[in-house]
Amino acid sequence: MRVARYYSNNDIRTDDILKPIIGPGEFMVKVKKSGICGSDILEYYRKAKMKKLGVSSLILGHEIAGDIIEKSEIIKHLNVGDRVFVSHHVPCFECHYCKQGHHTACDLLHNTNFDPGGFAEYVRVPKINIEKRGVYVLDNNVSYEEAVFIEPLGCVCRAQRLSNIKKGMTVLILGCGTSGLLHVKLAKLRGAKKVIATDINEFRLQKAQEFGADEVFNANRDLSNEIKKINDFKLADIVIVCTGALSAAKQALECAAPGSKIIFFAVPEPGINLEVPINRYWRNEITIMTSYGAAPEDLDEAYNWILSKRINVVDLITHRFPLSKAGEAFRVVCEAGESIKVILDMELD
């Protein structure tokens, strides 16, 4: 079967490997669509993983939708022909972190995956991913392209649940890629009074307006003053950082109102430290927090938003490429010009 191998952001090669063989309690998915995530182009992150595993390449891809084409006989609740989204990571629900509600800190979640990865014609889904609520049979009204967004929207749902966005709040979103735009839409649906979005890319700022942002600003401006001008001289109640740029992390610290929360949805690369004005934060009870990944309840929420059509995720797709042109697809994602969501469409080859 064909796969796309990742060696670096500038070196993606199509290869042929043996199709996986399912074992007891497992099934095989014929991948129809596979989204390229922003984390897929975090080169430092990918190269660190390759070094840890002692390999020169990876088969990435975790935002998949497809058809079950083969299944173990002991699986009774799923059928060949089912259209599915499959989560690559699942928590155990039993460890200390899961019981505290921190499912994405679970050791099992950090070590589960499907075989070999979503940038492939076929994927073997392990038994544990099935047993731990990692499989969603798609309603007939949910397309493969919509299903690709269940995982990225699930991550957004988790961040907003943890930060507890409520009616009347002013929400600032730094970075208007796929996740930033999903944050814009979801914050509005959760009742935010004002949603402000920033980026250095004018195309993405236009998309933020289309997705419902009340105000957009180029991130090169003096954001704290701009926010005060349009927000009754107050800063933001919730600040969501959706870019790994250090400049954005620093802006987040400057734009947080008393009693606010800053949530780092994306972070700078390892070795970069952030100076926090801790005395001011102490006096104003400002919370700094992080959000990683999505737990099953977050994926449930994401699926329901998509099923209800209240978030039109397909509008975020700007580019579709066949698997054979995965290298070109990665180039578009890395250049971040007039692109938002880029997907590999296995039906185009």
Q: How many CB atoms lie within 10 A of CB 193?
A: 15
How many other CB atoms are found less than 10 A from the CB of residue 89? Answer: 22
Specify the pLDDT at position 85.
Answer: 98
CB 119 within 8 A of CB 34: yes
Are the CB atoms for 150 and 88 separated by under 8 Å?
no
Return averaged pLDDT per consecutive 10 residues of the chain, 349 residues in all: 97 97 98 97 93 95 98 96 98 98 97 96 97 97 98 98 95 98 98 97 97 97 95 97 97 97 96 94 97 97 98 97 98 96 95
pLDDT computed for residue 349 by the predictor: 81
Q: What count of other Cβ atoms lies within 10 Å of the Cβ of residue 154?
A: 25
* CATH 3.40.50.720 in the chain, residue ranges: 156-290
Place of tokens 């929420």: 301
- 253-292 burial string, b = 16+ CB within 10 Å, else e? bebbbeebbbbbbbbbeeeeeeeeeeeebeeeebebeebe
Q: Which pLDDT tens digit goes with each residue over 73-103?
A: 999 999 999 999 999 999 999 999 999 999 9
Q: What's residue 310's pLDDT?
A: 97
Residue 122, amino acid: Y
Q: Decide yes or no: CATH 3.90.79.10 for domain 156-290.
A: no
pLDDT of the residue at 49: 92
Judged on CB neighbours under 10 Å (0-12, 13-18, 19+), 189 is middle
C-alpha 67/C-alpha 120 separation (Å) is 13
**Burial degree of 178 (CB within 10 A; 0-12, 13-18, 19+):** buried
5: β partners? 13
* Helices 178-189 & 202-210 angle (0-180, nearest 10): 30
H-run or E-run covering 225: helix 223-230
Considering the chain, tell me which residue range(s) the CATH 3.90.180.10 domain(s) occupy.
2-141+309-345
pLDDT at 161 (0 to 100): 97
Q: For the segment 114-123, what is each residue's pLDDT rounded down to a tens digit?
A: 999 999 999 9
pLDDT at 249: 97
For 233, counting Cβ atoms within 10 Å of its Cβ (0-12 exposed, 13-18 middle, 19+ buried), the class is exposed
pTM of the model: 0.96
CATH of region 2-141+309-345, choose from 3.40.50.720, 3.20.10.10, 3.30.470.10, 3.90.180.10: 3.90.180.10
Cβ 109 vs Cβ 299: under 8 Å: no
